[in-house]
Amino acid sequence: MTSIADFRFPNGDKGQVRGFDGELDALGVAPYIPDEKSIWEFGVTDASSSKATSDYEKRTLQVDEATRKLTTFVFASPRVWDNPKEKLSHWVSAKRDLGQWKDVRYIDGAMLEDWLFLCPAVAARWAKNVLKVMPPTGVRSTEEFWHEFASRFAPTLAEDVLLAGREEQAVELLRGLSGGVERPAYSADSPDEVLAFAIAAIRKAEPATRFFFEARTLVVDTEDAARSFNGRTDLIFLPRGQARGLAGFLARSAPTIVSAGADEKRTNHVLLNRPSSSALGRAFVAMGLTEEEGYAIARRCGRSLAILARQRPSGTAVTPEWVGSADALLPALFAGAWEATRNSDQSVVRTLAFDREYEAVEAPLRKLAKLQDPPVDRLGDIWTMRSSVDAFVNLGHLIGPEHLKQFALAAKTVFSFIPATPSADDLFEAPSERQLGHSSWLREGMMTMLLHMAVLHEQADFSIPGSTPQRFVDDIVKGIPALSSDHRLIASLERNLALLAEAAPIPFLDALERLLEGDASAIRPIFDEQKGFITPRTYHTGLLWALETLAWDAGLLPRVALCLARLAEIDPGGSISNRPLISLREIFLTWRPHTAAPCKTRVAVLTQIIQKVPAIAWPLLAKLLPQFHDTSNQTARPKLREFEADPEEKLTYRLVWDAQNAVVRLALAHVGNDVDRWSTVIRAFGNFQPEVFEETCIHLSRMFAETSGEVRNDIWDTLRKEANRHHAFPDAEWALGAAQLSRVDALVDEYRPNDPSLENTWLFDDWLPAIAKSFATESDPWAEIESARLGALREIVEQGGIGAIVALLNRVKLPHQVVGAIQALHLSQDLSIELVRMTLASSEQLDFVVAALVVDGLSRYGEEFLAALRRIVDYPKLEPARVANILMGLPENDDTWTLVETFGEDTNTSYWTRKQPIEVRGDKDVLLQALDNYEANGRAISAMHAVARRLPDVPTASLIRLLDSGVREINTSGKTVDTMTQYVVELVFKELETRDDVEPIDVARREFAYLPCLDQRKKPLVLHRLLTEQPMLYMEAICVVYKTSDEDSTQLTENEQQVAIASYELLSGIEVIPGQNGDDVDETALLKWCEEVRRLAATAKRSDVTDSRIGHLLAHAPASKIDFAWPHEAVRSAIELFASDELENGLMVERYNMRGVYTKAVGEGGTQERALAAQSLEWAKAMPEFPRAAALMRRISEGWTRDAEREDLQAAQRLLRD
């Protein structure tokens, strides 16, 4: 049955609901499935016709005649018809003769057996599970195989585990099976894993898709069973065991999934992705495991189900076949991983192999890597243990003293290496090209081995005569020279310090404590930041991860916390957010502590470290104070050691509150009379528990009583603002309760300042101060705020006069918020003038306030106010710059500019030198006047900003003059051009393109000068167009950038260097080719231009480099409008005509570079590059009449393919570290 329009057959209890037992609308399949619509009734009670007749009559009455004429009635029973009075065929014929239905059918038990024989996939499942009989020998349903496979593990696997990291491959498999792919071939660790993956993909598909495939899919185990399906085209086969040999035989008739283990993989097999540890961990979590347990299992099994079956078996685990190759594997086990092409790594591996030749060590590993369940993997030049845990557990008992001696020697060599710091005069080498000692693979692998010895020795039956594994590991770490004396070693081991610390906690802490002795000068440089490619590079983060790992051990927490506190004390800070203080905060966070230590221990240790390192006490306590909304980040956790929390202590609300209370009390003990510290406490006390909230109020009251002056006023102001915030939002979840808020209000009232300006400062410290009434209704809060500000200012003036306003302006955080209230006071002319005078005398920082007062005064009092203003600025004489400042608020028009001129030439110059380039709104004469004033004061760029929206009103000559002056201004200032200026400059050039009274060459010269400002422009420049039209101009740019083929290198002047750089950027910025018009290219024009440029290049002795630049240019050609392949036919002709390797190489390199910035998903590999390779190959196929161009497309495709392979390898290597 391949076409189903409607399907409804309720199962189990659902079958008891009203309605037909089944409904089907499908393309009929003889002999049992009717064509089009049918209803089905089932009976199991007897083998006579009574039930069938009853159902027939009932449904005939229920269904209208029109519907019945289009519907077949089917009755089915698992019992064989047994009615001696009436034959089955007679019953069916009698009902058909009535003509009440389109057709009538009866399917009894004998017919069902035949039907199941025709559908073996269904039979394999239902024969056993429903009919309770043995299915055909050598055949299983997908259901049977899945339950058998999944139950090999403890706990039983879920489908998500098989599909982790393989989701896209699962979709592709189902798509292929639906499309009739004959023989999809896959390989994994084992053939059974391939089959389990396929079945998991089916089981996780949409229900309709799942049922469709399950009804057709069979797992075939034996050759006899496989042969019995000869010619069956309606099934899907999953051969395994003996039947795998007949996969080709089965595939002749129906889709057959070919499965292979790691030792059988062929080039045509699709290798199932090995999931990342994080993806596999998520699958385990989905099974119900804890996040910690799920991710730990994923890491320890090496992302391999074969290993997982040994580590988490439901029964007895099978011993891997490679255990018998211990002699070959032990050196690899000790190394963990290494870089096969690195001499230093080879030397260490040889040491671990008792000085055998490296080739002799690697040769047997190549064989072991091809096993179905290999212990080692090789990815590129990286050798690594597939699961070092699995290998150690199976081989650890074979490790003897002779092996440990070699391992100790190798470990000292690897862990002691300190790379030399390059000097300024050393020749530069990229880090990827330098061999800085041993590879990170080897360092991490050997440290992992140390950890296995220390933690997993019991599971591996690993012992050391006369000692213990932990003591052996400790002795190795103690013996590392410079670990306790040289920060450079800490830096070199940065990424592996967490492993080292977990393996040998005590020696590690001993060494770190010695580095931190005295002024800690020995370790201070660990915080030095070095310039990185994107972000700065520093080497302290690995040290923090190591200490965070050890902090999980309650017994080590005091030492770890003290080390972090000392590091925090000497930390100079930096751009990297991962700091020692942040680690401490995460460890001691009250609601999510990152340590297994119980609450009382955490509080005791916190108290201890702030006593011993008081410098970090307040910064740490401030970060630990309770917050209404808080966040936390996971710290580093142990890889293998288990530091379990006290089973008697669960993190209850009481424990969290107890820890918070302890933090608050410590904070109160350190707050003193410090304004900033009290501000932190006050802003947090809404989250305090009642007992410590009251203690905080008592401390506040005592502080207010014992202090005075600015300190007391500032703290009171903070308390007032916080009280207002809670009054403004009384229904908020974070708001204080009525009783607590009353307690705060009492403190506010008791210690309220007598000075109104001090009392009302809070109204002008925020844009939107919290006023209870302003947020209590849906009305505009600004009305209440402005009213409160005006009322406060009136009270201030009444009690303190104009001088009190000036004092308020100097005190508040947002003085401009006072201006609106001042204007609303409607001060008299005399008071307004006095306020201007006193504010000017008070502070230059308030000149912007005076500017607003001047605008208000002139609008209200006119010439009299202006005359008074002149007297103020003349006696005593005010600097011209300040006079200009207070005139800046006047309207942008010629009246204002005339007024400014009356204050003198110096003031006028300061005005035009300092003012912001505001858009000019007057007529054209006013516009040009503003432009001239800006330009006269050396501000051509500001002039462009001011006239940017009115460029059509500016004469061409003025625009050219502005551009010329702007270049001088930019060069003189030495500042980077901001993006808004770049935008405005581009607008000017766009405007010039519309003018016919300027020569293109004149615009081009200015474009050359402004190239750095035009690098983001999408439309080609006039200069670019000229270069593609005038071969001589193009060659001039080439000659500026590149020397002749026989010319020696010479030292360029600074000006020559700048011109050469600009010319190179000009050449690189051309993205339109000669003869191009939109998406079409004039082939004649293109070839003529290229020929002339190549002729000029030969004369100038620059042929090769010119051909390369031509190729670079042609890379930007459009695609063909005929066959839609790239490049355009005109470019293909140029490639054929010139037959230049340099031209083709230049084109190829630029095509790669044109890809630009791209992103990849984690573990994506070379998918994108393969798509680009396929595209280039398709282009090559589209141009057989251009053989050289087609060959170039194939070379480009090969380049993308190499990139894809490299990306695949790098992704796989990154997954090894996941």
Say which residue, 760 or 623, is predicted with more confidence: 623
Q: Among 254-263, 338-347, 467-476, 1090-1099, which is the least confidently predicted range? A: 254-263
- Among residues 1099, 1092, 1063, the alpha carbon closest in space to that of 1075 is found at 1092
Q: Among 238-247, 333-342, 1004-1013, 1067-1076, which is the least confidently predicted range? A: 1004-1013
pLDDT at 1047: 79
CA distance 147 to 335: 39
Query: What's the full length of the chain, in residues?
Result: 1218
pLDDT in tens, 505-542: 999 999 999 999 999 999 999 999 877 656 677 899 99
pLDDT at 570: 96
Helix 1129-1138, helix 1187-1217: angle, nearest 10: 100
Average pLDDT over residues 938-965: 93
Instruction: Transcribe 415-455 into DSSP letters.
Output: HT--PPPPPTTSPP--TTT---SS-HHHHHHHHHHHHHHHH
pLDDT at 588: 97
pLDDT at 132: 46
pLDDT in tens, 455-475: 999 888 999 999 999 999 999
pLDDT in tens, 1011-1026: 778 767 777 788 889 9
Q: Among 99-113, 370-384, 771-785, which is the least confidently predicted range? A: 771-785
pLDDT at 1060: 85
Task: Report yes or no: 824 and 790 within 8 Å, Cβ to Cβ.
Answer: yes
Task: Report yes or no: 91 and 47 within 8 Å, Cβ to Cβ.
Answer: no
Average pLDDT over residues 267-283: 88
Q: How sure is the predictor about 442, in pLDDT bands with cuts at 50, 70 and 90? A: very high
pLDDT above 70 as % of the chain: 94
- Among residues 715, 811, 689, 829, the alpha carbon closest in space to that of 757 is found at 811
pLDDT at 783: 82
- Among residues 748, 765, 767, 768, the alpha carbon closest in space to that of 757 is found at 765
Q: How sure is the predictor about 133, in pLDDT bands with cuts at 50, 70 and 90? A: very low
Token reading at 793: 């200012």
CA distance 146 to 198: 10
Average pLDDT over residues 1206-1213: 88
pLDDT at 211 over 90: no
Q: How sure is the predictor about 134, in pLDDT bands with cuts at 50, 70 and 90? A: very low
CA distance 137 to 130: 17
Which element (helix H / strand E) includes 115?
Answer: helix 109-118
Dihedral of the alpha carbons of 1066, 1067, 1068, 1074, in degrees to the nearest 10? 120
pLDDT in tens, 628-665: 999 999 999 998 887 766 666 888 999 999 999 999 99
Task: Report yes or no: 285 and 161 within 8 Å, Cβ to Cβ.
Answer: no
Dihedral of the alpha carbons of 1185, 1191, 1192, 1196, in degrees to the nearest 10? 130
CA distance 1066 to 1027: 10
- Among residues 59, 50, 53, the alpha carbon closest in space to that of 21 is found at 59
Rg (CA), the chain: 42
C-alpha distances in angstroms, 812 versus 721, 757, 825, 846? 13, 9, 19, 12
pLDDT at 136 over 60: no
CA distance 295 to 277: 7
Q: How sure is the predictor about 14, in pLDDT bands with cuts at 50, 70 and 90? A: very low
3-class DSSP assignment, residue 722: helix
Token reading at 2: 């391949």
pLDDT at 77: 87
Token reading at 526: 């660990």
Sole residue written with tokens 């030439």:
905
pLDDT at 774 over 80: no
pLDDT at 17: 41
pLDDT in tens, 81-128: 878 788 888 899 998 999 999 999 998 888 887 777 777 666 666 655
* Ramachandran angles phi, psi of 39, nearest 5°: -115, 150
pLDDT above 90 as % of the chain: 58
- Among residues 190, 165, 389, the alpha carbon closest in space to that of 299 is found at 389
Own/partner long-range contacts of 280-284 (Cβ < 8 Å, ≥24 apart)? 280/161, 280/164, 280/165, 282/160, 282/164, 283/158, 283/160, 283/161, 283/163, 283/164, 284/161
pLDDT at 532: 61
pLDDT at 533: 56
pLDDT at 1009 over 90: no
Which element (helix H / strand E) includes 387?
Answer: none
Average pLDDT over residues 941-959: 93
pLDDT at 699: 96
pLDDT at 459: 86
pLDDT at 686 over 50: yes
Sole residue written with tokens 């930041």:
529
Biggest distance spanned by C-alpha atoms of the chain: 133
CA distance 640 to 470: 14
Is the pTM here over 0.85, yes or no?
no
Average pLDDT over residues 165-191: 88
For the chain, the distance separating the N- and C-terminal CA atoms, rounded to the nearest angstrom, is 46
Q: How sure is the predictor about 1126, in pLDDT bands with cuts at 50, 70 and 90? A: very high
**Rounded to 5 degrees, what angle do the CA atoms 241, 244, 247 make?**
155
pLDDT at 113: 76
* Cβ neighbours for 135, distance < 8 A, ≥ 6 positions apart: 123, 124, 125, 127, 128, 141, 144
Token reading at 397: 């008992």
Ordered by start, the domain boundaries in the chain are 4-118, 120-310, 319-419+437-478, 482-600+609-616, 1022-1212
CA distance 1018 to 1024: 12
pLDDT in tens, 897-942: 999 999 999 999 999 999 999 888 889 999 999 999 999 999 999 9
Average model confidence (pLDDT) across the chain: 89
pLDDT in tens, 789-825: 888 899 888 888 999 999 999 988 899 989 989 998 8
CA distance 87 to 49: 10
Average pLDDT over residues 400-426: 86
pLDDT in tens, 865-879: 999 999 988 877 889
pLDDT at 49 over 80: no
